[in-house]
């Protein structure tokens, strides 16, 4: 371990482990340091995403959706199940098994690609040296030609709702409930709040989401955001906008939340559990020595250029710890780019085409520009929308909520954005992202033969609608803006 490495990666989340594997594939001697421990106290790879983020939350979303279907949706198909119950500990056990399988997969990939896996903490010192401290407290100074910082992010804490990991929890604690809370409060109606709120709402919780912002999903296309809010409300989520939490008080086994509503009035509500998910912040505690040469920006992110290079020569940073959306796939692509640039290749990332997904049901997904962004930038555009209620596959599957919205340049017809709320939105938007990467036009998508019956026909019809050519609904006058 005293040998010098070509690459040392600190962090084995989606950005870090991908950077390590790709570096090793390119012939670079690589080590990856990870401080995460599993429930048995053993080192485990995957970071937040695999251990308490993307993967476990999707496992619970899938389980809760199956329960909801069995409880409320099967009857429409003529299926009778009798009494349907949920065994929460078994559901959590399944979630843990999924996490173990996926994180174990990374360990296998490290071994196959000859990545040295080190469990403990890493601190960047001056001169591309890394102080590695293992779980037993033994410290070793490692040297590298290149260091990649991929330390990820952590939930934002707010003083008015201190997490006690019992009654008041963060997004991690919300994955470990042992029973279904009758009354569940969620501070924050963003992606994480909606996903976690959906899990427990499907299982029977009365869920109230308190969102400080006046607009719902303010960074998303607002036509799609409003459609999504309508669907969530119909499902039973109580979404309250413009509500600022001013205090919490734990009383026995419940918590009283005080907040100011959209009209400026003080209100109180009592919950059995409260989830705090108001965002995430970059995690840099203990990561950088004072003389490391790496700078942070005004928001606490590691400062990097477009190629993810820091101020310190030979030191790079990727994933949630740097600017841009905190998305696992964005970090993974940065990890690949950095590894390949270290190896002398000229890889780049198109940051304009990064899909974003909310894994509620139905899903919400987007790629490219929103209508609000196009208006603000003064870009002329046409709009095409198409509802899933006019898609045979969606109606047959009883999955007809939502719509597809396509935005294209008014002069060139080049697709500038696509926004979907509906069945399989995460997969549908990815096809549009691929098309956008190659500069496709709405006409190109409209001329492409789509299988029938499929959910994806809504994408084709929205593309046709951009130019007033939709087949399966009356066309409105072109909405050139």
Please state the φ and ψ torsions of residue 372, each to the nearest 5 degrees.
-65, -40
Distance CA 38, CA 36 (A): 7
Asked if residue 151 and residue 14 are part of one domain, the reply reads yes
Please state whether the predicted TM-score (pTM) of the whole model is above 0.85.
Answer: yes
Let me know if residue 386 belongs to a domain: yes
**Within this chain, do residues 390 and 420 fall inside the same structural domain, yes or no?**
yes
**361 and 417 part of one domain:** yes
Q: Which residue has the tokens 């890889």?
A: 347
183 found inside a domain:
yes
Contact 118, 34 (CB under 8 A): yes
- Across the chain, what does the average pLDDT equal? 96
Tokens, residue 316: 């790079």
Question: What CATH number corresponds to the domain at position 443?
Answer: 3.30.390.30
Same domain, 54 and 181: no
Angle, alpha carbons 473-434-112 (nearest 5°): 140
pLDDT value of position 3: 72
% of residues, the chain, pLDDT over 70: 99
Q: What is the pLDDT of residues 390-444, one digit of tens each?
A: 999 999 999 999 999 999 999 999 999 999 999 999 999 999 999 999 999 999 9
CA distance 442 to 444: 5
Same domain, 442 and 365: yes
Confidence band, pLDDT 50/70/90 cuts, at residue 39: confident
Region 337-358: mean pLDDT is 97
User: For the chain, how far is it from start to end, CA to CA, in angstroms?
Assistant: 61
**Which band of pLDDT confidence, cut at 50, 70 and 90, is reported for residue 225?**
very high
66 in any annotated domain:
yes
HSE-up of 347 (CA within 13 Å, CB side)? 16
If asked whether residues 110 and 188 sit together in one domain, one would say no
Is residue 162 in some structural domain? no
Please give the residue range of the domain that contains residue 290: 5-155+281-342
Of 50, 446, 421, nearest in space to 220 by CA:
421
DSSP labels, 445-472: HHHS---SS-TTHHHHHHHHHHTT--SS
**Pair (329, 389) in one structural domain:** no
Query: What is the C-alpha separation between 422 and 57, in angstroms, rounded?
Result: 19
Same domain (yes/no): 228, 130: no
Q: What is the CATH number of the domain that holds 75?
A: 3.50.50.60
Q: Of 242, 263, 278, which one is at a domain's C-terminal end?
A: 278
pLDDT digits (tens, 9 = 90+) for 240-252: 999 999 999 999 9
Residues near 181 by beta carbon (within 8 Å), at least 6 away in sequence:
200, 205, 271, 272, 273
Q: Given a cut of 70, is residue 1 above it in pLDDT?
A: no
Does pLDDT of 165 surpass 90? yes
Is residue 477, in this structure, part of any structural domain at all?
Answer: no
Q: What is the mean pLDDT of residues 47-67?
A: 96
pLDDT in tens, 401-411: 999 999 999 99
Residue with tokens 């001013």: 246
Residue 303 domain-assigned (yes or no): yes
Instruction: Quick: pLDDT tens for 6-35.
Output: 999 999 999 999 999 999 999 999 999 999
Check whether 481 has a pLDDT greater than 90. no
CA dist., res. 209 & res. 218, Å (int)? 15
| pLDDT above 80 (res 232) | yes
Neighbours of 381 (CB within 10 A): 23
Residues recognised as catalytic: 452
User: Domain end: 235, 251, 278, which one?
Assistant: 278
Do 19 and 147 lie in one domain? The reply is yes
If one counts the domains in the chain, the total is 3
pLDDT of 467 reads 95
3-state secondary structure of 291: coil
Kindly state the percentage of the chain with pLDDT values over 90: 96
| 136 shares a domain with 25 | yes
User: Which among 225, 248, 278 is the end of a domain?
Assistant: 278
- Name the pairing type of β-strands 403-409 and 381-387: antiparallel
Q: Per the domain annotation, does 220 fall within a domain? A: yes
Token pair for 123: 């601190």
Token pair, residue 411, equals: 């002069």
If asked whether residues 137 and 186 sit together in one domain, one would say: no
Name the least confident of 136-145, 188-197, 232-241, 469-478: 469-478
Residue 40, pLDDT score = 87
d(CA 204, CA 169) in angstroms, rounded, equals 19
Please name which of 49, 356, 42, 51 lies closest in space to residue 228, comparing C-alpha atoms.
356
Averaged pLDDT for residues 270-288 = 97
Residue 106 clears pLDDT 80, i.e. is over it: yes
Per-residue CA distances from 130 to 113, 120, 286, 473 (Å): 22, 12, 12, 61
- 273 shares its domain with 285: no
In a domain, 479, yes or no: no
What's the rounded Cα separation, in Å, for the pair 328 and 201?
A: 26
pLDDT of residue 274 exceeding 70, the answer is yes
């Amino acid at each position: 371990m005293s040998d010098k490495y070509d690459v040392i990666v600190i962090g084995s989340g989606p950005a870090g482990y991908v950077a390590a594997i790709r570096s090793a594939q390119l012939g670079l001697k690589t080590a990856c340091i990870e401080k995460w421990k599993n429930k048995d106290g053993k080192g485990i790879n995957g970071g937040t995403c695999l251990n308490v983020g993307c993967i476990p939350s999707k496992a619970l979303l899938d389980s809760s959706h199956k329960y909801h279907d069995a409880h409320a949706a099967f009857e429409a198909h003529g299926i009778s199940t009798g009494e349907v119950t949920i065994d929460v500990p078994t559901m959590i056990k399944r979630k843990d098994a999924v996490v173990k399988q996926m994180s174990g997969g990374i360990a296998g990939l490290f071994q196959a690609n000859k990545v040295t896996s080190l469990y403990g903490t890493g601190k960047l010192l001056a001169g591309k040296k890394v102080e590695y401290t293992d779980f037993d407290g033994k410290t070793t100074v490692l040297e590298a030609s290149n260091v990649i910082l991929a330390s990820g992010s952590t939930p934002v804490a707010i003083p008015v709702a201190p997490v006690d990991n019992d009654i008041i929890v963060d997004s991690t604690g919300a994955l470990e409930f042992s029973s279904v809370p009758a009354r569940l409060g969620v501070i924050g109606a963003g992606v994480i709040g909606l996903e976690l709120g959906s899990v427990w709402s499907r299982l029977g919780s009365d869920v109230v989401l308190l969102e400080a912002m006046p607009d719902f999903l303010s960074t998303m296309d607002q036509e799609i955001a409003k459609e999504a809010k309508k669907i969530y409300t119909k499902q039973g989520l109580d979404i309250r906008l413009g509500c600022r939490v001013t205090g919490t008080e734990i009383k026995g086994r419940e918590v009283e939340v005080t907040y100011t509503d959209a009209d400026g009035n003080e209100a109180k509500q009592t919950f059995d559990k409260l989830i705090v998910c108001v965002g995430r912040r970059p995690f840099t505690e203990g990561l950088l020595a004072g003389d490391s040469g790496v700078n942070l920006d005004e928001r606490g992110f590691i400062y990097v250029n477009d190629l993810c290079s820091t101020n310190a020569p030979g030191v790079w940073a990727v994933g949630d710890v740097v600017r841009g959306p905190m998305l696992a796939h964005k970090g993974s692509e940065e990890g690949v780019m950095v590894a390949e640039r270290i190896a002398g290749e000229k890889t780049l990332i198109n940051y304009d085409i990064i899909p974003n997904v909310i894994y509620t049901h139905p899903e919400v997904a987007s790629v490219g520009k929103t209508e609000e962004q196009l208006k603000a930038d003064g870009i002329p555009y046409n709009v095409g929308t198409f509802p899933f209620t006019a898609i045979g596959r969606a109606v047959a599957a009883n999955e007809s909520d939502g719509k597809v919205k396509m935005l294209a340049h008014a002069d060139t017809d080049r697709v500038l954005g696509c926004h979907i709320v509906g069945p399989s939105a995460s997969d549908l938007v990815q096809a549009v992202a691929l098309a956008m990467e190659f500069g496709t036009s709405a006409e190109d998508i409209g001329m492409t033969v789509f299988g029938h019956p499929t959910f994806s026909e809504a994408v084709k019809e929205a593309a046709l609608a951009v130019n007033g050519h939709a087949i399966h609904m009356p066309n409105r006058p072109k909405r050139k803006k």
